[in-house]
Amino acid sequence: MRLSQYFLPLLRETPSEAQIVSHRLMLRAGMVRQSSAGIYSWLPLGLRVLRKVEQIVREEQDRSGAQEILMPTIQPAELWRESGRYDDYGKEMLRITDRHEREMLYGPTNEEQVTVIVRDAIRSYRDLPKNLYHIQWKFRDEVRPRFGVMRGREFLMKDNYSFDLDRAGAKHSYNKMFVAYLRTFARMGLKAIPMRADTGPIGGDLSHEFQILADTGESEVFCDKRWLEADVLAEHLDYDGDLEPFFQQWTSLYAATDEMHKPEGCPISEEQLVTARGIEVGHIFYFGNKYSKPMGAVVTGPNGEEVALEMGSYGIGVSRLVGALIEANHDDAGIIWPESVAPFRIGLINLRNADEKCRATCEDLYGKFRTAGIDVLYDDRDESAGAKFAAMDLIGIPDQLIVGPRGLAAGNIEHKHRRTGQRTDLPLDSAIARFAAHQGD
């Protein structure tokens, strides 16, 4: 993509309403614009990142055996009355009446909707287990939406729901999601730590929230320092095998939010304890038959008896993750995207637009990168070198290739690594091969 043609409305000044780093940088980098309180339009750069995050979430759900569906944003109120949650949910639920005076709502979550889908389709234990997920926009009418996409009213969420015959099967489904979540966040370059959590309005008796560590996190968290050394992607696990030992191994390491942490009762030494800031990016729940029983989601068991389905639900805030990634990956100059979620892999900078050799070299590189399937943002604008460097640093593309007359005279271009700031000369004839070799790593 040529930057001269790209819709990228950068801001030099930080908007006064932006209180946290991710909100400031998303506005300045032209990723989003506010439509109304807590509701945002996603512009091309922001949408590219959102789609990258969404795809990693999707791939790990698919890997676990979950199946993707798509449920509507608008739900009938009668479903929520069946479960007993319609009157209990409170003012966060946006309630609507259609032209036929039917009560509807903009779904804040989908336990009721998916329970009805499964209730109407599955009759026998032989059709179990099932795990269904979707990635859909949600709405919760926060009384004070703030912090940009981190605490908005409208947000993109992956939520999925498991259905099993008994508690043992439900716990296996829970463990699958426990593993899938750790893998999902690790693939984005995030250190995510599962912490035992309150089940809240979702209900149930088993729940973990996943906190990523970031210096600008919302709340204080405490964990065993062995968490910082853990590499979940090095684990080769069979989702159909016994995952309980893995679950026990990882949950045996101490981790607690500030609400749960009791210094006098902490089981590890001060030397082993890490104190950090955390941002919640995912939550998983097991709640048994809380929804299936009142809504009549039952199957015929092995002995002919009716059995209410054992359920769990599992959520990841996809749009919230974009903000969380920035909170964990930035410096004074701007965003530093991990390669797996970066909007572009390469930022190509022409230092001298008027120079025929610089222009021809950039055009050649641009075409070859595109042919190789490498996402490249080519800054071909008639701007100063300083303005081009500042823009590339602000939007956080992992690698910058800088083409100037002096380097070309020696047969080189300059490579700048955004995260480390390291600059090296790169032979022009090896640039394509170098980045093509790492494509998909």
Cis peptide before 129 (omega within 30 of 0): yes
Give 81's contacts (C-beta < 8 A, 6+ positions apart): 87
3-state secondary structure of 82: helix
Give 270's contacts (C-beta < 8 A, 6+ positions apart): none
Please give the model's pTM, rounded to 2 decimal places.
0.94
Tell the CATH superfamily of the 344-437 domain: Anticodon-binding domain (3.40.50.800)
Domain map of the chain by residue range? Answer: 21-335, 344-437
| Both tokens assigned to 15 | 């908007």
Q: What is the pLDDT of residue 219?
A: 85
Encode 9-59 in three state secondary structure: CCCCCCCCCCCCHHHHHHHHCCCEEEEECCEEEECHHHHHHHHHHHHHHHH
Helical residues (DSSP H) of 142-213, grouped into ranges = 167-187
CA distance 362 to 358: 6
277-316 tens-digit pLDDT: 999 999 999 999 999 999 999 999 999 999 999 999 999 9
- Would the CA dihedral through 95, 138, 154, 218 be positive or negative? positive
CA distance 392 to 375: 14
User: At 181, phi and psi to the nearest 5?
Assistant: -70, -45
CA distance 334 to 351: 21
Stretches in the chain below the pLDDT threshold 50: none
- Would the CA dihedral through 223, 225, 226, 230 be positive or negative? positive
Q: Which residues pair with 312 in a beta bridge?
A: 162, 286
385-424 tens-digit pLDDT: 999 999 999 999 999 999 999 999 999 999 999 999 999 9
CA distance 337 to 387: 20
CA distance 348 to 428: 13
CB-side neighbour CA atoms (13 Å) of 312: 30
Q: What b-and-e string marks burial along 305-332, b requiring 16 or more CB atoms within 10 Å of the CB?
A: eebbbbbbbbbbbbbbbbbbbbbbbbee
Q: Which residues pair with 224 in a beta bridge?
A: 273
CA distance 253 to 263: 16
Tell the CATH superfamily of the 21-335 domain: Bira Bifunctional Protein; Domain 2 (3.30.930.10)
Looking up tokens 């995030």 gives 190
